Chain A
Amino acid sequence: MPIQTHRSEDGQTLTIKIEGRFDFSTHQAFRDAYEHGDENVTAFVVDLSDTTYLDSSALGMLLLLRDYAGGDSAKIRIENCNSDVRRILSISNFEQLFAIR
């Protein structure tokens, strides 16, 4: 699977890891990854360490996750981006919406 999830030990943080291309083809899998979690999850980590490419529909999916997680009060960290991915995120100024590390 190009998308894997795991929960932190306290069960409050859900990490979603995307392998390869993060684009429209991963749409359903990405949604499934967070929508079927239980209510204890209060924070999300999107791990992009194995993501090679990210397009504008992936940006849209991140916004969907943000909306799902509470909009302006959402706690979402985007981690381990490679430089290409990082660049796309910063062109779109997503630092203003997400904690990107």
Chain B
Amino acid sequence: MAAIELQGLVKRYGKTQVVHGIDLTIEDGEFVVFVGPSGCGKSTTLRMIAGLEEIDGGTISIGGRAVNRLEPKERNIAMVFQNYAIYPHMSVAENIGFGLYTAKLDKAEKRRRVEETGRILGLEALLERKPSALSGGQRQRVAIGRAMVRDPAAFLFDEPLSNLDAQLRAQMRLEIKRLHQRLGRTIVFVTHDQVEAMTLADRIVVMRDGRILQVGAPMELYEKPADVFTARFIGSPTMNILPARATTAAGATTLALGEQPLALPTAMGTVPADLLVGVRPQQLRVLANGEASDLVLSGKAAVIEPLGSETFVHVEHGGGLILASAPAKAPPAVGEIVRLGAPASALTLFDAASERAL
């Protein structure tokens, strides 16, 4: 049992509070990703779980046991660092075996575990090499191996893929996901890359300025973001956010945006007059001649980005650029006036003042 529970977690550096009373429960075997921009407190929170940072308030429990005052080695966790932190003066086997430094095992058993870990991670041919003779991906595997060999209750990953190139990052993402499926251990993973968060997580924790903005499954965050920040942070390319005004007459609320008024469902009740409307580029399509849609916008195509399976079109609208998608084989030309459309169900409405979702 290795559920991790954070209650009112606080961290201060001098007079500056960087983590503001976080409450979160990570279930046993769950893969949770902390995501947010630099300085949002995600790595600090992870380091507090690991015991590498003092806690200024609140409680951390691992497996039902409060660990606030326990040393990192007493928490039965393993951590993988951004720059791998594999010891350059030791061979791959020694690095992996170092995870068993305090384990009361005989040499033969330690060796067996090191070889087994090397085999699982595809490192068996590299066990006697020094880290300097390894590629970035292999070094990251060694770091994971050192964490794995201890069979810890939970794994903590601190931006472990940031130093890898795009291709290797995608490969390692897959390997980490398979590792989680194989081991079934609790994983807390920190990243600023929303693609990593979306592809790896059972649940994503979106953080900003030391606070949790939203916790949920990847698709839940993608489809029902709690605020503008989460809406823009999750999903690639970024969601379009357009200012709009709502007017109510005879009990019906309509949204003044684009070429035609858009009726809002009565179930929404009273809405503020000033709104922000979010629409994902994948759902805002370039319309064919005469094609109708709930939301219709128009503008001049400024930049065309063919991606193979589809094409993104940057369209000048309202003094800025909005991003829409077009069929891969029939994109508009640069400079062409295009009509863009999205169904009402694809729109997310936010209060312009609080930026919270309605």
The reply to whether chain A is a binding partner of chain B is: no
A interface residue numbers (CB < 8 A to B): none
B interface residue numbers (CB < 8 A to A): none
